[in-house]
Amino acid sequence: MLDVEVIEDPAVAVIALDPVRSRLLSELALPASAANLAERVGLARQKVNYHLRALEAHKLVRAAGERKWGGLTERLFVATASAYVVSPGALGPVAADPRRTVDRLSASYLIALAARVVREVGGLWRRALDAKKRLATLSIDTEIRFASAAERAAFTADLSKAITELVARYHDANAAGGRDHRLLVMAYPKPSDEPKEEKTCR
């Protein structure tokens, strides 16, 4: 089972976003039968079987063996991932694209950048999985509390200078066998209703 599956096909996104099917996916972190699921979600087994067939046809669940129960043989199913993200690519030409945003200090530009990360990394990860290889990435996630807008501006200037110096030091446009990487730095006010988490850097 994958930690996260990025959904790129619009038809698969429609299936996954259905409230009943989304609930079934959440219940299938561990293998279960249609009868098990019917009892948990309060639906008739025939209805659950209908939804499971749709999920299986779109590769959101897979068979996980069989078991005998009351003289019958039940099929077990399990979700293909612990969580799912719909790629902006599923929206086709109306998907957010940073190339269409002029104001690089706007929230819409930040959202478009985040959407591009999901689309590009999702595609790269899928190809890496198919090739049974790891995808080299870097993630840094932390929080910072600024005393004032002036402090935030000073931090922005210092960070920009540091990144510019690092890029100048390590970027080699003529490196034989080198590979281009995207580097993004994002910052936005933390939502007040979000639970506090331990600060981490990975």
Q: Give the residue-averaged pLDDT of 88-96.
A: 92
* H/E stretch holding 50: helix 45-57
| Residue 22 covered by a domain | yes
| Residue 192 covered by a domain | no
Shared domain for 53 and 99, answered yes or no, is no
Per the model's pLDDT, the better-predicted residue between 175 and 194 turns out to be: 175
**How many domains are contained in the chain?**
2
Question: Residue 63 belongs to what domain range?
Answer: 2-84
User: Domain containing 59 — which CATH number?
Assistant: 1.10.10.10
Q: Give the residue-averaged pLDDT of 47-57.
A: 96
| Residue 9 covered by a domain | yes
Q: Is the pLDDT of residue 194 over 80?
A: no
Single pTM value for the model: 0.80
Model pLDDT, residue 71:
77
pLDDT tens digits for range 14-43: 999 999 999 999 999 999 999 999 999 999
Shared domain for 136 and 160, answered yes or no, is yes
Q: Is the pLDDT of residue 97 over 50?
A: yes
Lowest mean pLDDT among 139-143, 177-181, 198-202: 198-202
pLDDT tens digits for range 149-192: 999 999 999 999 999 999 999 999 999 999 999 999 999 999 98
Shared domain for 63 and 138, answered yes or no, is no
> By CB neighbour count within 10 A (0-12 exposed, 13-18 middle, 19+ buried), where does 24 fall?
buried
Look up residue 4 and give its two tokens.
């996260």
